[in-house]
Structure 1
Amino acid sequence: MIGQKTIHSFFLPISKKRTSEKEHEDGVDAQEHVGQVKKLKRLSNETPALPSSVALSPEQLDQILKNKNAALLRLANKAPEGFGESWRKSLATEFGKPYFKNLMSFVDGERKQHTVYPPPEHVFTWTQMCEIQDVKVVVLGQDPYHGPNQAHGLCFSVQHPVPPPPSLVNMYKELASDIEGFMHPGHGDLTGWAKQGVLLLNAVLTVRAHQPNSHKDKGWETFTDAVVHWLSTNLEGLVFMLWGAYAQKKGAAIDRKRHHVLHTVHPSPLSAHRGYFGSKHFSKTNDILKTSGKEPIDWKAL
C-alpha cells in the first residue's frame, strides 16, 4: 500500500555518514587507550622496583639472618670428620647436596671392601693447616699417592719416612736453582708450606690402594671445584700454580682479574724438562706476594 513501509525497509543499511562518524570516534578511543597503555608501561619502567625487604621490620630481617645462619650451621655439622672449622663453615652448602652424600657413601663402601688411601683422618688435612681466609698460594694436584704411608691429604707431599716421589724430587731441584739457600730437606713432608698458607689440593681426595684414578669421577672433582670457586670468589690476590694440562683445565674458571695464575708443565720426570725446570714459580710467587703486601712463603721451612 502507498505510504506503508515494507519489511525490508527496517533492515536498510546505516548511512555512510553515520558509519564513518562512529568509526572515527572508535578510532580516537582506541588511540587514546593505546597511548594510556604505553604511558603506564613507560612509568612502570621508569619507577624503580622497591626492594622486597622494604616492608620487613628490623626484627624480621634479623630473624631471617638468624634462620639462614642456623641452616648453614646444620649443614656444616654434616661435614666429614677432620674438617677444619673455617673451611667447614665456608663450604657448608656442599655437604647437604646429593652428589656429596653419594660420594661419602661410595668412599665408605670402598673402605669396607678395599684399602683406601689416605686414611679417613688425613683426607682433609689440607683444611687443618691454616684458616681458609689465610690461604695465599694454591697448588693443584690430581690424584693421591696410592702406595702405603704416602698420601696424607696434601698434594705432592708424603709422610715420614717415605722417600720423596719423583715429581717432588724435581720440585726440590727447581727450588734449589730458584730459591737461594734451599737444600733438599731429606724428606717429602710439605706440612711446613701448608701452615704458611700454601693450599696443596688434589682434585680427587681418595684412591684405592695400587689403583691410580680408581676414585676418579665419583664426585670429588665437583667438591674440589667448589673449593677453588670459593677461593676465587671470596679472596683476593692469590697465586695459583697450575702445573700440567689437568691442573690448568681445573683452574680455567679462576678469576684472573682478582688473582695471579702461573702455569707450566707438570714436574713429572716425563715432562719437567719441557718447561718446569727454569720456570722459577717459587720466586715469582714470592715477588707477587710482596707486591701485594703479603708475607712471602719461606720455601726452606720444611
Structure 2
Amino acid sequence: MLRVAAVKSPKIKKIENSPPASPPPSPVQLARAEENRIIALAKLHQSRTQGLFVNVGPSWMKVLEPEIKKEYFQSLCKFIASERSKHTIYPPTDEVFSWTRMCTLNEVRLLILIQFLFFSVGLCFSVKPGVQRPPSLANMYQELSKDIPEFKSPDHGCLTGWASQGVLLLNACLTVRASQANSHKDKGWEKLTDAVIKWLNSNRSGLVFILWGAYAQKKGSFIDQKKHCVLKGVHPSPLSAHRGFFGCHHFSKCNDYLVQQNKKPIDWNMLPAELMKENINIQN
C-alpha cells in the first residue's frame, strides 16, 4: 500500500501593520525651520565678515548672500573694521542693514536711491526721532504738500513709516566716516547695492524707481522701463531743488502707477514720530 506523504502547508508570515506615515510639515513648521536655518547662517556670516554682516532681514538673504562671499566684500569688511577702530563711523554696526529689516524683499513697491549716506541711520534721507530733519527732506515735504493735497508735513525726519509700506530707502554706500560725506566711496558698497537693484529689476515687475540726481540716474540706467516705472529728476538738495525738483510731482506719479499695477499706493502721511517696529518676515 502506497503511503502518501503529507503536504505541509506553507507558513504564512504574519504581516504586521506598518506605522502610519508622518504627516507632512505644516506651513508654520516649514517657515520656522527656514527661519532657524537663516538665523544660523547669519551667525556664520557675522563671524566671517568681521561683524559687518549683522542684523540682516531674513528675506534679503538670497539676494545678499552671494555677494558677501565675493572678494570685494571681504576687502570691504577689512576696510570697515579698520575705519571703526580709528574713527566714528555711521551708522552703528547693527543699523547698517536696517533697510532690509524695515522693508522686506517681497513687499518692495518703491525704491528711492541716493548717492551716499549723510546721516546716522541706514535709511536714506531719514533721521532718528529728535534729530533735526535734513534740508533735502524738508524740500521733499514741501513738494509733497503741493503734490499730495492731504499731506501734512511732520515736525520730524523719521521715515520708518514709509519703509514699513514697501519703500526701500537705499543709499549707494551704506557707511560713512563722521563729518566726511562720501568717505567710503568706491570701497565695495556700490557693488552690493548694484546687486540689490539688479535683482529687483530682473525678478520683480511693476515697481517704481525714483532716481534723483545724476549719480542715481547713472547707477539705475539699466533698469527695464518696460517692466517698471522710472522717475528721474533733480536731487531735492537746497543746492539743486529749485532747478526742477519742485513741481516734479513724483509722489503722486508713483501712486498713480502703483494703482495701475493693482498695488496699494503709498500713504505718504504715515510718518509716526517713533521708530516703526521692524518687519522681519522671511517670505520671499
> Same fold judged by TM-score > 0.5?
yes
Deviations 1:222-251 (A, max 9, x none): 110011001101111110000010110110
SS of the residue 2:263 aligns to: coil
Report how far residue 108 of structure 1 moved.
0.9
Tell which deviates more after alignment, 266-275 or 75-84: 75-84
Corresponding residue of 2:58: 85
Partner of residue 166, structure 1: 135
Asked whether 1:214 is paired with 2:145, we answer no
Establish whether residue 136 from structure 1 lines up as the match of residue 109 from structure 2.
yes
Please say if residues 75 and 93 of structure 1, whose CA atoms lie closer than 8 Å, have aligned partners that are also in contact: no
Query: Which SS does the other structure have where 2:77 is aligned?
Result: helix
Counterpart selection for 1:154 from 101, 123, 128: 123
> Paired residue for 2:231?
262
For residues 12-57 of structure 1, give each alpha carbon's deviation from its aligned partner in whole angstroms, at most 9, with x where no partner exists: xxxxxxxxxxxxxxxxxxxxxxxxxxxxxxxxxxxxxxxxxxxxxx
Kindly indicate whether structure 1 or structure 2 has the higher relative contact order, using CA contacts under 8 Å at least 6 residues apart: 2
* 8 Å contact kept, 1:206–1:215: yes
Task: Tell me if the contact between 2:64 and 2:196 (Cα under 8 Å) persists in the aligned partners.
Answer: yes
1:187 lines up with 2:156 in the alignment: yes
Q: In structure 2, the residue corresponding to 1:91 is in which secondary structure?
A: helix
Mind listing any 5+ residue stretches in structure 1 that lack a counterpart?
1-68
TM-score by length of 2: 0.77
After superposition, residues 231-270 of structure 1 pair within 5 angstroms as: 231-270=200-239
Shift of 1:272: 0.6
Cross-structure match for 2:170: 201
CA distance in 1, matches of 2:226, 2:123: 27
Once the two structures are aligned, what percentage of the paired residues are identical?
Answer: 58
Gaps of 5+ in 2: 1-33, 47-52, 272-284
1:78 aligned counterpart, secondary structure: helix
State how far apart, in whole Å, the 1-side matches of 2:177 and 2:63 are.
29
Conserved? CA contact 1:138–1:201, under 8 Å = yes
- Is 1:100 aligned to residue 106 of structure 2? no
Instruction: Return the offset for 1:101.
Output: 0.9
Q: Is the partner of 2:94 in helix, strand or coil?
A: helix
Distance between the aligned counterparts of 1:101 and 1:296, measured in 2?
39
Q: Hey, what's the Cα distance between the residues in 2 that align with 1:284 and 1:224?
A: 25
Q: Per the alignment, in what secondary structure is the counterpart of residue 102 of structure 2?
A: coil
Corresponding position of 2:274:
none
Separation in 1, partners of 2:169, 2:99: 7
Q: Which residue does 1:118 correspond to in 2?
A: 91
Q: Is the 8 A contact 2:59 2:105 kept in 1?
A: yes
Deviation, structure 1 residue 270: 1.0
Letter in 2 for 1:280: H
Contact kept? 1:162, 1:187, Cα under 8 Å? yes
Q: Give the CA deviation at 1:256.
A: 1.4
Does the 8 A contact of 1:241 with 1:262 survive in 2?
Answer: yes
Q: Residues 204 and 220 of structure 1 are in contact (CA less than 8 Å); yes or no, is this contact kept in structure 2?
A: yes
Displacement after TM superposition at 1:75 (Å) = 7.2
Q: Is the 8 A contact 1:139 1:241 kept in 2?
A: yes
Q: Distance in 2 between matches of 1:266 and 1:189?
A: 19
Contact 1:75–1:92, Cα closer than 8 Å, also in 2: no
Distance 1:105 1:133 in 2: 31
Q: Residues 132-184 of structure 1: CA distance to partner in whole angstroms, max 9, x if unpaired?
A: 02100000011111xxxx42100011111111111000000000001122121
CA distance in 1, matches of 2:142, 2:120: 21
- Larger proportion of helix: 1
1-structure distance, mates of 2:229, 2:120: 28
- Counterparts of 2:58 and 2:106 in 1: how far apart (Å)? 12
- The letter for the 1-side match of 2:142 is K
